Amino acid sequence: MEIYVGGIDSKELLQQVLATLPAGLFTVDVEGTISCWNRAMEELTGLKAEEMVGQNCSAMQGDTCFGGPIGPPGKRCVLFEEKQGFDRKRCTLRRKDGSRVAVHKNARLMRNARGEIIGAIESVADLSEIEALQNEVSALRDRAKVRTEIIGRHPSMMALFDRIDLAAPSRASILITGETGTGKELVASAIHHSSPRRSRPFIRVSCPALSPSLVESELFGHVKGAFTGAATDRIGRFEAANGGTIFLDEISDLSIEVQTKLLRVLQEQQFERVGDSTTRTVNIRVLAATNVDLLQRCQEGRFRTDIYYRLATIPLTVPSLRERREDIPVLVEHFLERHAREQEGARPSIGPEVMDRLLEHTWPGNVRELEHAIEFALTVSRDGQIRPEDLPPLLRDPRSANGHHGGRRRHRRGDPRPAPETLQRALDAAGGIRAQAAAALGVSRVTLWKWLKEAGLGENGEGE
C-alpha cells in the first residue's frame, strides 16, 4: 500500500498525526532529507526534531539502509533504489549518545497525484526490551543446559551452583580447584555459557598437552620466520579467545617464563606474538583450573604468587566424588540414560549388588572414573543388565574398594588369564589403547601384552 498526498492541508494533517502516534515515525524526500520527525522518534533516539529535520537520513547510521553495513553519507537509500517499501526489517540506529538501538522498520513510498515518488514514510518499533528478554531467555536456556551436564544434588554441589551463578556475570578471573576427574572443565564451561560473553569464543587449553618448545607460540602466536618451521603468521589461543573466555586447564604446568607473560595478559590484556614487537590488546576473561595446591607451589618457587592472587579473585572448589557419595546413583542414572539416547535403545538396568560396589569404591578418579566404569560395564554386558562381573576388575572384588592405590586391585601372580573375549572387549572399550585397557583390567601393560600374546591377540590394540 502507498500513501498519496494531494496538497498542503494533507501534509499538515500528516504532521499532526505523526506527532500524536506512539510509534516512532519520520518522513524523507527522494534525496533522503528528513522532513518530519515525531515525538516518539525523539524519545527513542534522544535526537530532537529541530536537530534532524533537514538532515540526511544517513545521520541515523542505519545498518540496513544502504543494502549492507552502515553506508557513507550521500549514498542513496535502498528504499528509493528498489522503489518499493518493506515490512519488519530489523535495523539498528544511532542514538544521540553514540549507542545503538535495535528496531523494526516499516516503510512506504509516498507519491503525488501524478504517481511520482516524492518521498517515504517510515515507522520504527523499539526492539531493545524484546531483545533483552530474548537474551535473558537464552541465558536461562544456556544455564539449564550446562546444569544438566554438571550432575549433583549434594549440598556441596548446590553451593557450587550458587557460586557459579554469582561468578558468571563478573569479569574477574576464576581459579577452579579440584581433584582429577571432578569436572573442572564443565564448571568453566558453565561459567562462560552463563556469562555475558556466552556468544563469544570459549577456548580450552590443556597446559600439560602444550609442547614445551612451542608453548609461547601456542598461547601468544608467532610471526613468519620467528623460528624454524614458522612458515606463516599464526594467532595464538589468547588472540583466538578475544571477546570471550580462555580456560587454562592444569595451569600449574606452565613454566615460570610463560607465567611472566601470562601475568601481563592478566594485568593489561596485552602481549606480543613470538618474533614480533607489535603489542596486541585483547578483551578476554581468564578461567584456570588445577588439581594441585598452587599456594604450596608458590612457596616452592614453582608458581608466581602474583599470578595466583590474580587468578584466585573468585576461587571455586569442585568436591570429590568421595565427599558426595549420595550423588553416585544420580550420576549412574544419568550415564545410563545418555547411553540409551545415543544407542536409541532401551535403558540398561543395574542391580543393587552393582550399586553397592559403586558406593563402596573410593573413586580416586572421581566422576570421570565412574563414567568410564559404566562405559566399560555397558560394553561387556550382553543383555542390557549390568551385573557385578561386568564391572572393571578393580570394582568386582568388594575387598579392593578400600585397598591401596585408591582401591585398585593389581593382578597377582597365579591369577588366571581372562578369557580372550574379555580381553578383546576391554581393548574395544579403551579404543584399542593398551594403557587404558590395562588400567581397566587392573594390570600392567606388560602383563596385558603377555595375555594378548597368549590369547593370540598380539596384533590388536597396538596403541599406548
pLDDT of residue 409: 43
The span from the first CA to the last CA of the chain, in angstroms, equals 72
- What's the CA angle centered on 397, arms 393 and 402, to 5 degrees? 105
pLDDT of residue 35: 87
pLDDT of residue 272: 92
Is the CB of residue 46 less than 8 Å from the CB of residue 97? yes
pTM of the model: 0.60
Question: How many other β-carbons are positioned within 10 Å of the β-carbon of residue 430?
Answer: 22
pLDDT band at 133 (very low <50, low <70, confident <90, very high): low
pLDDT band at 70 (very low <50, low <70, confident <90, very high): very low
Is the CB of residue 347 less than 8 Å from the CB of residue 385? no
pLDDT at 141 over 80: no
Indicate the range of 61-70, 342-351, 432-441 predicted with least confidence.
Answer: 61-70
CA nearest 14: which of 124, 120, 93? 120
pLDDT of residue 315: 92
Q: How would DSSP label each residue in 45-60? A: HS--HHHHTTSBGGGG
- What's the CA angle centered on 21, arms 15 and 25, to 5 degrees? 65
What mean pLDDT comes out for the span 143-168?
Answer: 82
Q: Kindly give the pairing relationship between strand 117-126 and strand 285-290.
A: unpaired
pLDDT of residue 87: 81
pLDDT digits (tens, 9 = 90+) for 187-239: 999 999 989 998 899 999 999 888 888 889 999 999 988 888 888 889 999 99
pLDDT of residue 168: 92
pLDDT of residue 404: 37
Is the CB of residue 265 less than 8 Å from the CB of residue 271? yes
pLDDT of residue 15: 66
Look at phi and psi of residue 462 and say left if phi exceeds 0, alpha if psi is from -120 to 50, else beta: alpha
Written as nine digits, the cell of 38 is 515525531
CA-to-CA distance for 359 and 356, rounded, in angstroms? 5
pLDDT above 70 as % of the chain: 81
Written as nine digits, the cell of 441 is 583390567
The type of residue at 432 is G
Q: How would DSSP label each residue in 328-391? A: HHHHHHHHHHHHHHHHTSPPPEE-HHHHHHHHHS--TTHHHHHHHHHHHHHHH-SSSEE-GGGS
Is the CB of residue 193 less than 8 Å from the CB of residue 143? yes
pLDDT digits (tens, 9 = 90+) for 401-419: 444 333 344 444 445 567 7
Please name the helix (run of DSSP H) or strand (run of DSSP E) that holds residue 271, with its range, or none.
Answer: strand 270-272
CA-to-CA distance for 254 and 302, rounded, in angstroms? 9
**For the chain, how big is the Rg over CA atoms in Å?**
32
Residue 197 in 3-state DSSP? coil
pLDDT band at 145 (very low <50, low <70, confident <90, very high): low
Please name the helix (run of DSSP H) or strand (run of DSSP E) that holds residue 20, with its range, or none.
Answer: helix 8-20
Q: How far is CA 95 from the centre of its chain?
A: 32
What mean pLDDT comes out for the span 153-160?
Answer: 92
Please name the helix (run of DSSP H) or strand (run of DSSP E) that holds residue 251, with its range, or none.
Answer: none
pLDDT of residue 452: 86
What lies within 8 Å, CB to CB, of 303 at 6+ separation is: 252, 259, 294, 297
